[in-house]
Amino acid sequence: MPDKDNYKVIGTRPIRHDGEDKVTGRALFGADFSMTGLLHGKVLRSPHAHARIHSIDTSQAEAHPGVKAVITSADMPEVEDGLVTLAEGGTANLKFMQNNILAHDKVLYKGHAIAAIAANNPHVAEEALNLIQVDYDVLTPVMDVKEAMSAEAPLLHEDLTTTSLGQKSEVVSNVAQHFQHQAGNIEKGFVEADIIVEREFKTATVHQGYIEPHNATALHRADGHLTIWCSTQGAFEVQGQIEKILQLPVSKIKVVPMEIGGGFGGKIPVYLEPLAAILSQKTGQAVKITMDRSHVFEATGPTAGSYIKVKIGANNEGKITAAQAELIYEAGAFPGALVGAGMECIFAPYDIENYLLDGYDVVVNIPKTAPYRAPGATNAAMAETVIDEICEKLGQDPLEFRLKNGVREGTRRVGGPVYPRIGFLETVETAKAHEHYSAPLEGTNRGRGVASGYWFNIGLQSSVTLHVNSDGTLNLMEGSTDIGGTRTSIAMQAAEVLGIPVEDISPAVVDTDSIGYTGVTGGSRTTFATGYAAIEAAKDIIEQMKESAADLWEVESGNVAFEDGVFSSLNGKSQQAPFKEIASRVHDSIVGRGTVDPSAPGGAFATHIVDVEVDTDTGKVEILRYTAIQDVGKAIHPSYVEGQMQGGAVQGIGWALNEEYVYNDSGEMSNSSFLDYRMPTTYDVPMIDTVIVEVPNPGHPYGVRGVGEVPIVPPPAAIANAIYNATGVRMNTLPMSPGRVLKAIGKI
Give me the residues that bind a copy of itself (CB under 8 A), please. 15, 17, 19-21, 23-26, 28, 31-37, 87-88, 219, 221-223, 225, 249-252, 254, 284-286, 461, 463, 465, 467, 469-471, 473-475, 477, 504, 506, 508, 510, 513-518, 587-591, 593, 595, 597
The residue among 441 and 591 lying less far from a copy of itself, judged by its C-beta, is 591
d(CA 541, CA 562): 11
d(CA 228, CA 238): 9
The residue among 86 and 172 lying less far from a copy of itself, judged by its C-beta, is 86
Residue 639 Cβ vs a copy of itself, minimum distance, rounded to whole Å: 17
64-83 in b/e burial notation, b at 16+ Cβ within 10 A? Answer: bebbbbbbbbebbeebeeeb
Residue 80 has, within 13 A of its CA and on its CB side, a CA count of 9
The residue among 281 and 300 lying less far from a copy of itself, judged by its C-beta, is 281
Residue 113 Cβ vs a copy of itself, minimum distance, rounded to whole Å: 26
The residue among 223 and 435 lying less far from a copy of itself, judged by its C-beta, is 223
- Three-state DSSP class for 186? helix
Contact 277, 344 (CB under 8 A): no
The residue among 438 and 589 lying less far from a copy of itself, judged by its C-beta, is 589
The residue among 185 and 506 lying less far from a copy of itself, judged by its C-beta, is 506
Residue 400 Cβ vs a copy of itself, minimum distance, rounded to whole Å: 46
Q: Give the pairing type, strands 604-614 and 446-455.
A: antiparallel
Contact 48, 664 (CB under 8 A): no
DSSP 354: S
The residue among 155 and 508 lying less far from a copy of itself, judged by its C-beta, is 508
- Three-state DSSP class for 641? helix
Whether omega for the bond prior to residue 735 falls within 30 degrees of 0, making it cis, is yes
Helix or strand holding residue 446 (H, E) = strand 446-455
Contact 275, 246 (CB under 8 A): no
Burial of 6 (0-12, 13-18, 19+ CB in 10 A): exposed
DSSP 411: P
Amino acid at 55: S
Report H helices in 199-284: 235-246, 273-283
The residue among 477 and 688 lying less far from a copy of itself, judged by its C-beta, is 477
The residue among 41 and 335 lying less far from a copy of itself, judged by its C-beta, is 41
Residue 515 Cβ vs a copy of itself, minimum distance, rounded to whole Å: 7
Residue 537 Cβ vs a copy of itself, minimum distance, rounded to whole Å: 10
| Sequence-ordered list of residues with C-beta below 8 angstroms from that of 218, at least 6 positions apart, any chain | 226, 227, 228, 229, 273, 276, 277, 279, 280, 286, 287
Report H helices in 141-292: 145-149, 186-192, 235-246, 273-283
Residue 680 Cβ vs a copy of itself, minimum distance, rounded to whole Å: 29
The residue among 73 and 473 lying less far from a copy of itself, judged by its C-beta, is 473
The residue among 256 and 363 lying less far from a copy of itself, judged by its C-beta, is 256
d(CA 40, CA 52): 29
Contact 173, 273 (CB under 8 A): no
Report H helices in 519-570: 531-553
Residue 466 Cβ vs a copy of itself, minimum distance, rounded to whole Å: 10
d(CA 436, CA 691): 11
Residue 229 has, within 13 A of its CA and on its CB side, a CA count of 18
The residue among 21 and 187 lying less far from a copy of itself, judged by its C-beta, is 21
Chain CA centroid to CA 721, Å: 26
**Angle, CA of 644, 645 and 650, to the nearest 5°:** 95
d(CA 123, CA 350): 57
**Residue among 665, 696, 660, 664 nearest 679 (CA):** 660
The residue among 593 and 620 lying less far from a copy of itself, judged by its C-beta, is 593
The residue among 510 and 560 lying less far from a copy of itself, judged by its C-beta, is 510
- Three-state DSSP class for 585? helix
The residue among 26 and 52 lying less far from a copy of itself, judged by its C-beta, is 26
Chain CA centroid to CA 386, Å: 26
Residue 715 Cβ vs a copy of itself, minimum distance, rounded to whole Å: 35
Instruction: Provide the phi-psi class of 502: left if phi over 0, else alpha when psi is between -120 and 50, else beta.
Output: alpha
The residue among 574 and 589 lying less far from a copy of itself, judged by its C-beta, is 589
Beta bridge partners of 593: 465
d(CA 294, CA 671): 9
**Angle, CA of 314, 316 and 322, to the nearest 5°:** 15
Residue 279 Cβ vs a copy of itself, minimum distance, rounded to whole Å: 14
d(CA 243, CA 92): 12
d(CA 719, CA 611): 8
Contact 202, 143 (CB under 8 A): no
What does residue 348 show for φ and ψ, rounded to 5 degrees? -60, -30
Residue 499 Cβ vs a copy of itself, minimum distance, rounded to whole Å: 17
The residue among 195 and 508 lying less far from a copy of itself, judged by its C-beta, is 508
